[in-house]
Amino acid sequence: MSKILIVDDEPNIVMALDYALQKQGFTVLIARDGQEALDIVKKDIPKVIILDIMMPKVDGFEVLNQLKSNPKTKDIAVLILSAKNKAKDIENGLKAGANEYLAKPFSTKKLIEKIKSYC
């Protein structure tokens, strides 16, 4: 099954998503900040990245920018999952190259359906 990278610094969200995705048969990689995500992607390219915006070290917008500007990673599907849910935030995320933008709190079922559509 496809590899999914969860990039979030909130332990409860990471644990819940890790459990739900593994239950669906996905291989799950986890990064707790933007820099760790970039380091993981250099070694192991996932099919989909679930990306938070507000994180330590490197924020989600910078991670997205680096992914989309690299020919090796530009085609990875990126689903932003963020508490930043104003229209401008969503617009900025989609303009930056995210495939989807979901606001927290979120429906795990809906997120998994979106992930499956990219795998």
CA distances from 34 to 60, 70, 113, 119 (A): 6, 16, 24, 23
Rounded Cα–Cα distance for residues 105 and 26 (Å): 22
pTM for the structure as a whole? 0.95
Query: Which amino acid is residue 35, in one-letter code?
Result: Q
How much is the mean pLDDT over the chain?
Answer: 94
Assigned CATH for 3-118: 3.40.50.2300
CB 84 within 8 A of CB 55: no
Sketch the domain layout of the chain as residue ranges.
3-118
CB 72 within 8 A of CB 106: no
pLDDT 10s digits, 14-36: 999 999 999 999 999 999 999 99
